[in-house]
Amino acid sequence: MTKELKESQLLLEEEEKNRTLAVISNFTDGLLVFDKENALSLINPQAEFFLKIKAKEVIGKSLSELSNSPNFRPLVNLLMKKNKEIFRKELTLKKNLILEVSIVSIERPKKENETLVILHNITREKTVERMKSDFISLTAHQLRTPLSGIKWGLIMILKEDFGKITKEQKDILEKTYFTNERMISLVDSLLDVTRIEEGRFLYKPTKEDLVGITEEVIDLLKGIAEREKIKIKFLVEGNIPKVKVDREKISFCIQNLIENAIIYNNPNGKVTILLKYDKTKNQILFSVKDTGIGILRDDQDRIFSKFFRGTLAIKKETVGSGLGLFVTKNVVEAHQGKIWFESEKGKGSTFYLTLPVKEKNYA
């Protein structure tokens, strides 16, 4: 290689390096790079701003040394706990600064691997979310009181506490009552959503018999199933031990899954409910299988999202808020359980959930 060519190559490398540093310095996210010894080798201005620290004060320091800085400590605690890459982990540094942290490994040919930490500011998004939750909570509370008043007024009229009513009047009042009940259910779901988002979705776990709870729910939904001409089959495999759960909220989950299987089924369809105990994993498996409309593949990633309703469900023109499965997923996961499903358009869906059989306090 000639001297001129070598100098030209060095100039190009220097120019590329300067360009890279310019991009890093002007990047809107905070960036930090740690070497293989977990010593900080690079920090950009945005990360300096987030952590309220100067690069010259921290470059070359190890994680243990960085933990001495109060602003750095929450991030260091996250880094020291990591045993794998992290993607969009929420981290609150202070009341008015919430970051999304992503940690990835940088692999470079013939060089030691390094760790890249990306800090993305989500404070505004979280503030907007909190405002939305406050609005929903306030609205739901304001709606619940008059709806409850309407409910008890209708019950008293239907019981003929104020005098006899005709059959036609009774039919209209019963339809009004059930419509009002759907509104109360929607308000309750909205309140559950705000509690979930605020971390106030508290549990009162007690030892419960899931077979008995499921039978109660099936009995409650029997009228809907008969109206829709849906046959329900309930299978219990083996002895099902009692499990520590919040009875009210687990009942909601079971009811939501079975009711969906009925509502989104085809005429003369079937719903098969299975409850069994897995001794190997020490957990209870609950599943609901239907012969209904199914869920489009494009919709499946969003089925547990808040306010989402599948394309086929909307086309069926059924009543729904898109909150049931969102709440159900959060309830199951708060019990350290799992929920998932299998579905195909026109061939029905099967929803599964598992609950651990062990003493545990939930929050």
Q: What is the pLDDT of residue 202?
A: 56
CATH 3.30.450.20 holds for 3-121: yes
Strand, coil or helix: 348: strand
* DSSP letter, residue 41: E
Q: What is the pLDDT of residue 82?
A: 57
**Angle 210-334-202 from CA coordinates, rounded to 5°:** 95
Predicted TM-score (pTM) of this structure: 0.62
Q: What is the DSSP string of 76-129?
A: HHHHHH-SS-EEEEEEEEETTEEEEEEEEEE--TTS--EEEEEEEE-HHHHHHH
Q: What is the pLDDT of residue 361?
A: 43
Q: What is the pLDDT of residue 120?
A: 92
Question: Hey, what long-range contacts does 152-158 have (CB within 8 A, 24 or more apart)?
Answer: 154/180
Phi-psi category of residue 101: left, alpha or beta, with phi > 0 → left and psi -120 to 50 → alpha = beta
Q: What are the residue ranges in the chain where pLDDT is below 70?
A: 1-18, 20-21, 82-84, 109-111, 197-203, 317-320, 359-363
CATH 3.40.630.150 holds for 206-356: no
Torsion angle of the four alpha carbons 127, 132, 133, 136, in this order, in degrees rounded to the nearest 10: 160
Give which of 209, 277, 212, 206 is closest to 244, Cα–Cα: 206
As a whole-number percent, the residues of the chain with pLDDT over 70 amount to 88
Dist. CA 345–CA 181, nearest whole Å: 31
Q: For residues 56 and 37, is the Cβ–Cβ distance under 8 A? A: no
Identify the architecture of domain 126-197 in CATH: Orthogonal Bundle (1.10)
Give which of 246, 268, 269 is closest to 331, Cα–Cα: 246
Dist. CA 294–CA 284, nearest whole Å: 25
Q: What is the DSSP string of 222-282?
A: HHHHHHTT-EEEEEEES----EEE-HHHHHHHHHHHHHHHHHTSPTT-EEEEEEEEETTTT
Sequence-distant (6+) residues with CB within 8 A of 253 are 328, 331, 332, 353
Dist. CA 53–CA 57, nearest whole Å: 7
Domains in the chain: boundaries? 3-121, 126-197, 206-356
Dist. CA 90–CA 70, nearest whole Å: 18
